[in-house]
Amino acid sequence: MHIGVFGGTFDPVHVGHLILAEQCREQAGLDRVLFLPAARPPHKQERELTAFDRRVEMLALALAGHAAFRIEELEKDRPGPSYTVDTLGVLRERDPQAELFLILGADSLVDLPFWYEPAKIVELANLLIVARPGSDMPPLESLRKPLHLLDHVPLRAQVVASPLIDISSRDLRRRVAEGKSIRYMVPRPVEMYIQEKRLYLPQDR
């Protein structure tokens, strides 16, 4: 079983996330892609996130009908920051026979050496690297030294070609707050959910 691991805040999930995940599934031959909404990402502690359950509900609406896409709520009740290495460790313990593939944007790849226990991350999972608008793709072997990988430790990484969809959750939240359209940037059920729950609106509206 080849399992893709796609973490993020998904606040909100948008079509860029979905296209990226589908390209990874197809090009890497993944049997399943797990979408893992983070509870407390270490790099986003300063921003208050939309409630975990609501982000999960938006994901459920976005992923409906795709048999290979699943939501994994592993982070929901975990105390403290959500570290990728801990998540991968739990998934490996849960299914030791599965081969894990961590989905990363090229922008995150540059920061990977500064994550918590990056060498352990590379040990636990293959890397699926997807180009992102405005981010250069560094040579993969150039990561060996920053990750402190020994010569005999393989760097299992694959570059996935995907359309460059320049949509960000931050921009979507801003657009909603300003009363602008997000039509076709998120799945229609997600757009309707945001409207119904009055998400991302200024507090005085």
10-residue mean pLDDT profile of the chain (205 residues): values are: 96 96 97 92 66 96 97 84 89 95 88 89 93 72 80 84 90 97 98 97 70
Q: Where are the alpha helices (DSSP H) in the chain?
A: 15-27, 52-63, 84-94, 106-111, 118-124, 169-177, 188-197
What is the count of structural domains for the chain? 1
In 3D space, the residue among 158, 190, 159 whose CA is nearest the CA of residue 176 turns out to be 190
Q: What is the pLDDT of residue 26?
A: 97
Domain-embedded: residue 8: yes
Domain-embedded: residue 80: yes
| CATH assignment at residue 105 | 3.40.50.620
Domain-embedded: residue 154: yes
What is the domain range of residue 51? 2-165
Q: What is the pLDDT of residue 106?
A: 83
State the burial class of residue 189 (Cβ atoms within 10 Å of its Cβ: 0-12, 13-18, 19+).
middle
Residues whose CB is less than 8 angstroms from the CB of residue 107 and which lie 6 or more positions away in sequence, other chains included:
132, 134, 135
Domain-embedded: residue 157: yes
Q: What is the pLDDT of residue 145?
A: 83
